[in-house]
Amino acid sequence: MTAETPAAAGRTPSPDTTAALYFSGIGNTRYAVNRLARGLGVKDENILSIEDDEDRVQETLAHADTAIVAHPNYMCLMPKIMSDYLAQHGTWLANKDIITLVTYANFFFDADLQVARLLRKQGISFRAQSNISIQMPMIVCDMKLMKSTDTDIQSTLKAKADRKLDECAQIILAGGTVHDGQESDRLKAFLRQRMFYQGRIQKDFARLRISDACTRCGACVRACPKQNLTIREDRVVQSGHCTQCYRCANLCPRQAITLWGKKIQWQYKGI
Ligand SMILES: Cc1cc2nc3c(=O)[nH]c(=O)nc-3n(C[C@H](O)[C@H](O)[C@H](O)COP(=O)(O)O)c2cc1C
Ligand code: SF4
Ligand code: SF4
């Protein structure tokens, strides 16, 4: 973590005029953004998800001069649901101080710089206040390789994340900035991840598998942030608009849904 001293930084965010906007698949990012925002004194009603009512988000952001924008790291990219949202509503962040926050499981390189790049690409002006990355448990639950062998990993990561989030809030409140991802990591991130996965992450995913174990309970249908799933007659069908958030795969009581892998290895219920 690189922290800049107050002298080198911009203005200090005021709790009354700071808002947060996030997407979270299973809850890691929601947890992290809430902790950071509360650390900065932000009111709960100003911490909003992109799944919340759009008018409410727009109005809240209109009254903010600092915005925390948070998402999980998918292969050094943001989920498609988030990039689509920012492509449509990025102007709501115009002329604000932006703190970006990314949660990741293993590595992030420069993932926490992606929001700033996307806004710049759209010609939206803003001031980059801080870019923060927080390690959290893995949510890809259908790949053996991704499964942690450490049973205490969740509580260890939570304690570590809490400490770092509180520390970041203190630095920012003192007028400083935090810069985790560095521009110099861009090539590394491209060569190791974006070059191979850009297409897979930034396209709607249409190859979800739903096994015969499904009882059509409807839990996945209700939870999906993309309304990608529907119950039709005797089965659950997908419309090809999955953002790969793994919410349905982690919650299905029958472990009937898989995306990248072929079998559920464990289910993550959130931090
Ligand atoms: C499709 C997908 C790709 C992911 N890619 C990475 C990755 O490249 N590096 C990493 O450290 N974590 C990766 N993760 C893990 C998530 O970034 C991490 O678990 C995150 O905290 C999930 O946040 P959420 O609960 O808010 O959705 C990936 C998760 C998913 C679903
Ligand atoms: S949550 Fe699982 S069991 Fe329930 S409808 Fe979805 S796939 Fe079927
Ligand atoms: S289908 Fe499942 S993984 Fe895909 S967006 Fe919906 S809840 Fe997320």
> Which is nearest to 13 in space by CA: 43, 42, 35, 49?
42
Mean pLDDT, range 183-195, rounded to an integer: 89
pTM metric for this prediction: 0.95
- Nearest ligand, measured from the Cα of 207: 3
Q: Is the pLDDT of residue 3 over 70?
A: yes
Ligand 2: nearest atom to the Cα of 210 = 7
Q: Is 222 near ligand 2, meaning CB less than 6 Å away?
A: no
Q: Is the pLDDT of residue 30 over 90?
A: yes
DSSP string, the chain: -EEE-GGGS-PPPPGGGEEEEE--SSSHHHHHHHHHHHHTT--GGGEEETTS-HHHHHHHHHT-SEEEEEEE-BTTB--HHHHHHHHHHGGGGTTSEEEEEEEESS--TTGGGHHHHHHHHTT---EEEEEEEEE-----TT-GGGS-S-TTHHHHHHHHHHHHHHHHHHHHHTT-EEE-S-GGGHHHHIIIIIHHHHHHHSS-B---EE-TT-----HHHHH-TT--EEEETTEEEE-S-B----HHHHH-TT--EESSSSS--------
Residue with CA nearest ligand 1 atom 31 = 245
Confidence of residue 10 (pLDDT cuts 50, 70, 90): low
- Nearest ligand, measured from the Cα of 249: 3
Q: Is 156 near ligand 2, meaning CB less than 6 Å away?
A: no
Residue with CA nearest ligand 3 atom 1 = 242
Q: Is 80 near ligand 3, meaning CB less than 6 Å away?
A: no
- Residues 42 and 75 sit within 8 Å (Cβ to Cβ): no
pLDDT digits (tens, 9 = 90+) for 82-94: 999 999 999 999 9
Q: Is 218 near ligand 2, meaning CB less than 6 Å away?
A: yes
Q: Is 245 near ligand 3, meaning CB less than 6 Å away?
A: yes
Q: Which of 75, 112, 135 to mutate to test the pocket of ligand 1 (most atoms within 8 A of CB)?
A: 75
Q: Any idea which of 110-114, 148-152, 165-169, 211-215 has the lowest mean pLDDT? A: 148-152
Out of 3.40.50.970, 1.25.40.10, 3.30.70.20, 3.20.20.210, the CATH code matching 209-258 is 3.30.70.20
Structure confidence at residue 191 (pLDDT):
86
Distance CA 82, CA 69 (A): 10
- Residue 247 alpha carbon to ligand 3 centre in Å: 6
Q: Is the pLDDT of residue 7 over 70?
A: no
Residue with CA nearest ligand 3 atom 7 = 224
Structure confidence at residue 5 (pLDDT):
60
Residue with CA nearest ligand 3 atom 2 = 248
- Nearest ligand, measured from the Cα of 246: 3
The full set of domain ranges for the chain reads 2-200, 209-258
Q: Is 224 near ligand 2, meaning CB less than 6 Å away?
A: no
Q: What does pLDDT average to over the chain?
A: 94
CATH number of 2-200: 3.40.50.360
Ligand 2: nearest atom to the Cα of 255 = 2
| Buried-state track 20-55, b at ≥16 Cβ within 10 A, e below 16 | bbbbbbbbbbbbbbbbbbbbbebeeebbbbbeeeee
